[in-house]
Amino acid sequence: MTGVLGNPDIRLSQAYLLYDSRCGPCTSFMKIVKVLDLHGKLTPVSIHANQAEAIVKGLLSKNRLKSSFHIVEVSNAGSEVYSAGDGLVRLTRYAPAGRVTFAIVSRVKFLRQFLRWTYYQSTKIRSASKNCPVN
């Protein structure tokens, strides 16, 4: 397999969870997501890894890459990036009963707003953490 952009580590029809591996709360979040990803569709990648920059090349700046977590979906049609609160909304696709959950969340404005608000609240926890170098 040749991969995407000539990089064998980037596969087509794959979803990546880009997270800050140097941040305690972010790493805990990634571990929770992996437990909920029953079908193993998400591949976690540290935002500090060269692979992360290759995955988002031309889609996100280095500063934006390091500003939050991201879900990146790679396919023949191209790559889509969902960040921060929008990433949390997209993450519902990978949860148990994800097809149904995402269909509901993507159509109900209140639920999308609630997930974005939840993400915003979690950034306060990350900001207060002594285990996060962003602070």
pLDDT at residue 124, rounded to an integer: 85
DSSP state of 4: B
Flag whether pLDDT at 1 surpasses 50.
Answer: no
Mean pLDDT of 53-71: 93
Q: Give the confidence band of 10 by pLDDT, cuts at 50, 70, 90.
A: low
Instruction: Return the SS3 of 75.
Output: strand
65-103 pLDDT per residue, tens: 999 999 999 988 889 999 999 999 999 999 999 999 999
pLDDT at residue 59, rounded to an integer: 94
- The better pLDDT of the pair 123, 92 is held by 92
Residue 37 backbone dihedrals phi, psi, to 5 degrees: -80, 75
pLDDT at residue 131, rounded to an integer: 74
For the chain, which domains are there?
14-127 (3.40.30)
d(CA 98, CA 7): 29
List, in order, residues 6 or more apart from 48 with CB less than 8 Å away: 20, 21, 22
Q: Give the confidence band of 55 by pLDDT, cuts at 50, 70, 90.
A: very high
Flag whether pLDDT at 119 surpasses 50.
Answer: yes
13-51 pLDDT per residue, tens: 799 999 999 998 899 999 999 999 998 999 999 999 999
List alpha helices for the chain, DSSP H.
24-36, 50-55, 62-65, 84-91, 98-107, 109-128
